[in-house]
Structure 1
Amino acid sequence: MKRRLCSLILLPFLLLYAFPVSAAEKEERKWQDETMYYLMVDRFNNGDNQNDQEVNNNDPSAYQGGDFTGVTGRMDHIKDMGFTTVILSPIFQNEKGGYHGYWTTDFYKINKQFGTMKELEKLVNEAHERDLKVLIDLPVTRVSTAHPWTEDDKKVDWFTNKREVAPEKWLGEMATLNLENKAVTKELIQVANYWSEQTKIDGYYLSDAIHAPVSFWGNFSEGLNKDLYLLGESNEQDVNVNKLAAYQKAGLDGMMNGSMMSPLREQFKNVNESSSETPNLLKEVEASWKDPQLSAHYLDTNKTARFTRDIVQENMFPGTRWMLALTYLYTIPGTPVVYYGSEIALDGGEGVENHGLMNFRIDKELIDYMKKIGDLRQQLPALTRGSYEPLYEKNGMVVFKREYQDETLIVAINNTNETQKVTIPAKELANDKELRGLLNDNLSRAENGDFTIILDREQSEVFVLAEESGINLSFIAALAAVYIIFMVFIYLVWKRGRAAR
């Protein structure tokens, strides 16, 4: 009898939860869905003192002790911030002092300062267990002047110049490879295939890709496993988006869009800055790129001054500036790439000054915010796959729409020094729905044919167009019907039991 009563008590709840849940089925993961985190292995975290032979913590231009074990130990830090892909700075054998990884002396050997092949494999495995993808920075345009190839008489034509100052002057003199030479191309394809087979990484971040001939990337990509993702680097701020499109058409999957970096930094370094340039650039990318969603956008890299430097020079509070800028970066079309230390607003100029040590004992306000917007980016396909339509822009206040299938989002960012109010005609959305805020719980309903968005100064909001909240009469009626049926059922059981006596 007790068992029967227990079943009767659970019955209405089972019926209630039997109603279908209206949630979109998760689509297959694509590279445009990624949120990427670039870290410098040497500056991230020291997890094993046994490989600290060249470490000198009193010299910022020397190794500081970061290694593969240290990165593995902080994998949850990266995952918890909402990132889905980790990019490692170059991990190949370098000449003495090459903590940054660009002074390559042997592409087939690992940098012992960072650990062993086994430890790198463990890093990749730990990342994959957390559903994180891994890219390695592969610098193919230049090598160290001490690379054995430079002394090989049979490889004279492998170089266009064996000693010239790199575009990043802090790297000093380097040897520039002749990427129009078929033997060089073949060798670099072999290098890329070797590391992908050994470590099971997911692709490559290709340093200075824009300084290589477009034809090289076509041949290079054809020689690799088609599952590998190839992200080309471009730090040229005045580069034309059409030029970048040519690299994607040649075989690179995505490109770091250097043309966006400077306008993004200008837009968010202070309040009341113009927001007009970036929407125009986004429209240019949409019109010219093979896959516009794989345009990678960023605020800084290991080869630029940090974005925090711009903020400090404007005497602004870095945390708020970063929150606004990252909200924009995560919600516009394209793939966001965030440089390590951004989560603590690390400051620094170009070169060594940029490569500060990561500090994990810090205020978590910015980190928590990054997790929040990172989660939204993963949960809302309109942010990674949807159309883009600017709705409003004036002196720092920007509003745009993202749409994908039946999902409509309105992103509003108030980068001004006062409260802003923007109206959107309801006919562009829906009269019988509401805009529900996902970051700060703002709410807007159509009144007199308009939605009105009100945002405090230096605040952002991501609105989802949803059914109006309130009393759901249909749900209440269904629930009442379930309980009526339940009570009738109990009565019949009771009556039957009584008759049996």
Structure 2
Amino acid sequence: MNVNLKKWVVTVLLISGLWLTTTQNTNAEPNGSIHNESIYDLLVDRYFNKVVSNDVDVNAQDPNAFAGGDFLGIIEKMDHIKDMGFTIISIGPIFATETYDGKRILDFNEIEKRFGTPEEFQELIKVAHKKGMKIVVGFPLNNYSENHNWSMDPSKKDWIVKTENGVMQVDLTNPKVQQALKQTIVDFTKKYDIDGVNFSELQGAPISFVNDMIAGIKEVRNPMYAIALEESDANFDTHYSNQLLVDFREAFKNTDLPSERIASTNDNDLLMIDQLNTERFTYFSALENMFPPTRIKTAMGAILAMPGVPYMSYGTEIAMNGQVPQESHQVMNFRVDEDITNYLKDINSIRNKSETLRSGKTELLKNENGYIVFKRYSDKETFIVVINNTSATQRIDLSSDVVGENKELRGIFEQDVVRPDKDGKYKLVLDRELVELYQVTDRKGLNTSYIVAMCVAYLMFIIFLVIVWKKGKQKNSKQNN
């Protein structure tokens, strides 16, 4: 069979398969509400080095040094993030800095030259917007470099609380400091078309001051998200809980572990198994002698189906390991197995198409030691989500009171169809360490459209083979003559 024929056969089979497996498309694209988003967090320096002209004092062999990643590198690899279905790229602080993570800021008035130029940063934002994605920038409120330009200004002497081990700490209760920080971030959001700010180093900052900063950036444009990976009572668009992070990590690092504490998440909760300031999730699953990719897929499958805002650190898709920043802030490796990446593509594509999975109501049906079953529903559609994070095949029988009368359940990943038995029970059986989304649909008899499509496809295939055979016969006849 020649190459063109092979391509034609594959196309026919894909079209035929889609006739059966396509789920309801709500045509609901992520918009200006944070519960519609999913966040991919990275460090510019550790992602991808596109150009070497800005590699000043770069040493990729030193885990504490700059590695060369830049804005153009993120543009180069942005489709990798988009294909996984994430809608927000959080890129950390990008001001002039002494450290690769952007935290030891030297000057708020300059963009870190190793990351690129202001024009390249604006191009990054532009490309992201063209692809339907948003850019969030990190903004620490404290703990800058001791060489920060404020420390060189005698008039700002009373702004500084202390300088120790190369770190300058400012007084966040000082009205002048507050005004300077607010003006800095507001001016930045006006100059660059970013979509949000990830605030950090909140300790010592009065809630009223943080809320004033949040209000300031939200006056610039809408949406303008304000998030933080620190616990706070300020008016952030998301709610971060360190305990919830630990609960997710502890529930999924192995099988058959208590999962009751992750059962009641809300739309604005940040759902994650690690972050760039903690150990990698892989580190904990490896300590359990478990296979990290399977653990990650099960955990992220749950996170992407539960109420909340999914958050994932770069490198999770390749099971990046690490206990301390020098280990867990590795340069991203794109030449690895795509098993986790492909899984994220599949489940995130469903979430992005379904408003119900992003913000619908939730009814918990079962939650016991890693076996979690719940219903996500709205006026438009209903899903039964089954998370089997156990070491054995699990089964649950659901009544028509839960599923509805004269319905059937279609498994999106395993592609099984569950109809009620003679007692009206829907028996859902799922193998170990899997997450399945069952879409509730009206019960059908024979899938007439599918059968017709298959018949047409195979008829076209047979006709095509006949044409190829006849042309081959004619060609041979001419050669013989």
Q: Is the 8 A contact 2:279 2:323 kept in 1?
A: yes
Q: Is the 8 A contact 1:340 1:358 kept in 2?
A: yes
Residue in 1 aligned with 2:242?
258
How far the C-alpha of 1:197 sits from its partner, in A, is: 2.1
Q: Does 1:219 align with 2:222?
A: no
Q: 1:22 & 1:306 partners in 2: Cα distance?
A: 36
RMSD: 2.1
Residue in 1 aligned with 2:162?
162
What are structure 2's unaligned runs of at least 5 residues? 1-22, 452-481
Q: 1:304 & 1:475 partners in 2: Cα distance?
A: 49
Q: 2:358 & 2:82 partners in 1: Cα distance?
A: 18
Q: 1:23 & 1:127 partners in 2: Cα distance?
A: 24
Q: 1:296 & 1:465 partners in 2: Cα distance?
A: 27
Q: Is the 8 A contact 1:442 1:461 kept in 2?
A: no
Of 357, 370, 393, 2:367 maps to 393
Of 381, 400, 419, 2:393 maps to 419
Of 272, 290, 294, 1:316 maps to 290
Q: 1:119 & 1:26 partners in 2: Cα distance?
A: 31
**Deviating more after overlay: 411-420 vs 174-183:** 174-183
CA 1:210–1:389 in 2, change beyond 3 Å: closer, same or farther?
Answer: farther
Q: Does 1:231 align with 2:227?
A: yes
Q: Residue 465 of structure 1 aligns to a residue in which SS?
A: strand
How far the C-alpha of 1:89 sits from its partner, in A, is: 1.6
Of 198, 211, 227, 1:205 maps to 198
Residue in 1 aligned with 2:426?
451
Residue in 1 aligned with 2:474?
none
Residue in 2 aligned with 1:496?
none
Residue in 2 aligned with 1:467?
442
Larger RCO (CA within 8 A; separation ≥ 6)? 2
Q: 2:169 & 2:214 partners in 1: Cα distance?
A: 20
Alignment of 1:261-300 (within 5 A): 261-280=245-264, 282=265, 292-300=266-274
Q: Is the 8 A contact 1:145 1:162 kept in 2?
A: no
Residue in 1 aligned with 2:16?
none
How far the C-alpha of 1:257 sits from its partner, in A, is: 2.9
Residue in 2 aligned with 1:403?
377
Residue in 2 aligned with 1:26?
28
Q: Residue 409 of structure 2 aligns to a residue in which SS?
A: strand
Q: Residue 331 of structure 2 aligns to a residue in which SS?
A: coil
Residue in 1 aligned with 2:47?
44
Of 326, 339, 346, 1:352 maps to 326
CA 1:358–1:473 in 2, change beyond 3 Å: closer, same or farther?
Answer: closer
How far the C-alpha of 1:148 sits from its partner, in A, is: 2.4
Q: Does 1:127 align with 2:128?
A: yes
Q: Is the 8 A contact 1:330 1:373 kept in 2?
A: yes
**Deviating more after overlay: 395-404 vs 217-226:** 217-226
Q: 2:242 & 2:203 partners in 1: Cα distance?
A: 10
Residue in 2 aligned with 1:183?
176
How big is each residue's C-alpha offset from its partner over 1:312-339, in whole Å with a ceiling of 9 and x where there is no partner?
A: 1111111110000001111111101110
Q: Residue 234 of structure 2 aligns to a residue in which SS?
A: helix
How far the C-alpha of 1:118 sits from its partner, in A, is: 0.8
Segments of 4+ moved more than 4 angstroms: 21-25, 472-476
Q: Is the 8 A contact 2:25 2:354 kept in 1?
A: no
How far the C-alpha of 1:441 sits from its partner, in A, is: 1.2
How big is each residue's C-alpha offset from its partner over 1:435-467, in whole Å with a ceiling of 9 and x where there is no partner?
A: 111122132222213221100111110111111
1:163 counterpart letter in structure 2 = T
Q: Give the TM-score normalised by the residue count of structure 2.
A: 0.84
Q: Is the 8 A contact 1:37 1:337 kept in 2?
A: yes
Q: Is the 8 A contact 2:30 2:36 kept in 1?
A: no
Count matched residues. Answer: 424
What are structure 1's unaligned runs of at least 5 residues? 1-20, 165-171, 283-291, 477-501
Q: Residue 224 of structure 1 aligns to a residue in which SS?
A: helix
Q: Is the 8 A contact 2:26 2:353 kept in 1?
A: no
**Deviating more after overlay: 62-71 vs 448-457:** 448-457
Q: 2:240 & 2:327 partners in 1: Cα distance?
A: 22
Of 52, 56, 61, 2:59 maps to 56
Q: 2:103 & 2:333 partners in 1: Cα distance?
A: 24
Q: Residue 51 of structure 1 aligns to a residue in which SS?
A: coil
CA 1:459–1:61 in 2, change beyond 3 Å: closer, same or farther?
Answer: same
Q: Give the TM-score normalised by the residue count of structure 1.
A: 0.81
How far the C-alpha of 1:198 sits from its partner, in A, is: 2.2
Residue in 2 aligned with 1:378?
352
Residue in 2 aligned with 1:342?
316
CA 1:421–1:189 in 2, change beyond 3 Å: closer, same or farther?
Answer: same
Q: 1:469 & 1:145 partners in 2: Cα distance?
A: 70
CA 1:389–1:463 in 2, change beyond 3 Å: closer, same or farther?
Answer: same
Alignment of 1:233-252 (within 5 A): 233-234=229-230, 244=232, 246-248=233-235, 252=236
Q: Is the 8 A contact 2:26 2:355 kept in 1?
A: no
How far the C-alpha of 1:473 sits from its partner, in A, is: 8.3
Q: 2:122 & 2:179 partners in 1: Cα distance?
A: 25
Q: Residue 136 of structure 1 aligns to a residue in which SS?
A: strand
Q: Does 1:194 align with 2:175?
A: no
